[in-house]
Structure 1
Amino acid sequence: MNAQSPLLQRMAYARQKAPSTRRAILDVMVADPDRVLNESFEQLAERSGSSVPTIMRTCRDLGFAGLREFKLALARDLALGGSPLHRRINLKDSTTEVVSKIAGSASATVAGVRNQLHQPTLEQAVRLIAKAHHIDIVGAGNTSWFMASDLQARLFRLGLSCTAWADYHLQQVAAGAQRRGGVVIAITHVGGMPSLLDAVDIARAQGAKVIAITRPGTALAQRADVLLGLSVPDDAVMHVGIDAYLVHLTLIEILTVLVAQTMGGTAVKRLRGVRQAFQRHGIDVQTHPLQSWEGGGVKRHD
């Protein structure tokens, strides 16, 4: 057991007074907390010889609404008390173990996205994006700015009017130019950057709708008209780690596909046009002979 983990210490103490069925669950959790992070209700129930309702009661005894909330708290606890390299990695782990643990962590994090998204809320965000007269996408920090840029690159291929802003001053200028029928998508894992919050407040005052991609409970989440909340464990090295990076990219892909579905044939036609442009001008060299514009004309290099 990680002696630095307050949650694991609390679990060990709770075990002493727990009924036998819940004690078995706590034993399994304390013995290998990293494995618990990747397990479903059913897998944990089978391994501990208990049931899903008993696991739910055990999590509630510890002060959590369910297994998902418990896992998030446990992951944060392990990250704070674990290795400075990665929350799953020990300094003496082999190359094989490092690859396995990081890949497994990434896979489990992405798989968990489906359980965090509320379908009606997601569909509301999609409708707003598809119908918006203009979309401003803003991010706070290096990772969030990359996400904003990636989402903009996807949405404008569908023919939507959208701009991604990295400069804090321009974010506020863009927000001030918004109006009713427009949308601002704010992306930030931390959710508390003052300049970003100012831009969101300005946009809402102009009548625009705000879609937030951030952690639930943040200042940004409280300001959003539509919250796409994603909770991920803290990273031991980066302020915003690979888990946040992956879940945000996954959500961006989901949003883009759903918006394209909503737009129907119009979106498909525009995407096909983009692909054909790539092929005609030699950008997609894997499916088309490479071309160049040297000498004032197009030349093919077969």
Structure 2
Amino acid sequence: MTSGFEPSDATGRPAGLEDSVGASDVLSAIRSGLDGMSESQRRVGQLFLGDPEWAVKANVEEIATRAGVSAPTIVRFARAIGCEGLKDLKLKLAGALALGAPFLHRSVHVGETAAEVVRNVTGSMTTVLADWQRRLDPGELDRAAAAINRARRIDCLGTGATSHFLAQDLQARLFRLGLTANAFSDAHFQLVAAATLTSADVLVSISFVGRMPTLLRAVEVGRARGATVIALTQARTPLAELAHVVLPMDVPRDATMLVGTDAYVVQLIAIEVLMILVGLRQGTSLIGRMNDLHHVLRTYGIDREDPSVLHAGWRQMLASDLGLPETG
């Protein structure tokens, strides 16, 4: 049986597609044709679906480099989905974006079903993560982990709702590893913390935007005191320029949020990887400490599945406050 997307003529167009597609159909043609494409063409298709606004503006060399394919593959891909070439594909893609719903999500368009929205959003995220992983330098992650592991103190700075949460998340993870770590979101405390840093310390600054004036000032102060500055931010931002180690968080622009889901997820993954790399450097000594920590939490923690633990904790607190004898 012939596949629905096997080449049917000398142009290499898959069977089942019209000789040409309109602006409103080009994204659907890419999505429906992925399964029948070669691996290299599939990477191109995923790139176009994951970041169509960038693809419209990029030239053939930039697309080929980012997808990890040759320039002729781009042309073959365009013809495979019913376009005359890359120029025709980009014109139709621009039209599709104009007809779509970019104010909600770059990969979601008017008229799509719930199932299509789920597939397109998750597919877009998968593409973004794969692209971010290819461009991330493991050597810089190693440098950051090594600096954190040997630091006397690690201060995590984040300004804004998302960055504040991420700074606290990193601090909590490092704290569990037995490291002296703090998290600050208040501009005043950030300056105080930065002023007390030394060359034995690390300052981790988290800001996807990378342009917050109060955060930049605190980073300048910390760097002047000799601290090693690690930045989780977009490349070529003022914050990136100040850092000794930059972990770039470059992802497509979000349609609705300044710091969108893509940026949120890659920063969380970077923090997770950093924590793991630091833990691995601590060797077998970490195993005993983590086992002890887990034992304490299982024994005394109140966020367990067994509700009696929580109830017992409240009974003890009430008995203490009211001066009553504790009951078993």
TM over 0.5: yes
Q: Secondary structure at the match of 1:112?
A: helix
Does structure 1 conserve the Cα–Cα contact (< 8 Å) formed by 2:230 and 2:244? yes
The code of the aligned residue for 2:65 comes to G
1:257-292 Cα distance to aligned partner (Å, 9 max, x none): 110000112322222222111111143524896351
Matched, 1:123 2:142: yes
Matched, 1:158 2:177: yes
Give the Cα separation in 2 of the matches to 1:151 and 1:276.
22
Instruction: Provide the residue aligned with 2:66 in structure 1.
Output: 67
Runs of 4+ in 1 over 6 A off after TM superposition: 77-81
Does structure 1 conserve the Cα–Cα contact (< 8 Å) formed by 2:159 and 2:186? no
Instruction: Provide the residue aligned with 2:39 in structure 1.
Output: 43
TM-score, normalising length: structure 1: 0.74
Shift, 1:42, TM fit: 6.6
Shift, 1:198, TM fit: 0.6
1:232 is aligned, of 247, 251, 265, to 251
Cα distance change on mapping 1:276 and 1:112 into 2, 3 Å: farther
Matched, 1:215 2:215: no
Instruction: Provide the residue aligned with 2:204 in structure 1.
Output: 185
Instruction: Provide the residue aligned with 1:15 in structure 2.
Output: none
Cα distance change on mapping 1:193 and 1:282 into 2, 3 Å: closer
TM-score, normalising length: structure 2: 0.69
The code of the aligned residue for 1:137 comes to C
Matched, 1:281 2:300: yes
Q: Quick one: percent identity of the two aligned structures?
A: 36
The code of the aligned residue for 2:40 comes to L
Shift, 1:212, TM fit: 0.5
Q: Secondary structure at the match of 1:83?
A: coil
Does structure 1 conserve the Cα–Cα contact (< 8 Å) formed by 2:203 and 2:219? yes
Give the Cα separation in 1 of the matches to 2:40 and 2:97.
21
Q: How many residues align?
A: 257
2:281 is aligned, of 262, 278, 284, to 262
Does structure 1 conserve the Cα–Cα contact (< 8 Å) formed by 2:157 and 2:164? yes
Instruction: Provide the residue aligned with 1:9 in structure 2.
Output: none
Q: Secondary structure at the match of 1:101?
A: helix
Q: Secondary structure at the match of 2:231?
A: strand
Instruction: Provide the residue aligned with 1:206 in structure 2.
Output: 225
RMSD: 3.4
**Larger Rg over CA atoms:** 2
Does structure 2 conserve the Cα–Cα contact (< 8 Å) formed by 1:79 and 1:86? no
Segments of 5+ residues of structure 2 without an aligned counterpart are 1-10, 13-19, 45-57, 70-89, 320-325
Instruction: Provide the residue aligned with 1:139 in structure 2.
Output: 158
Give the Cα separation in 2 of the matches to 1:251 and 1:88.
24
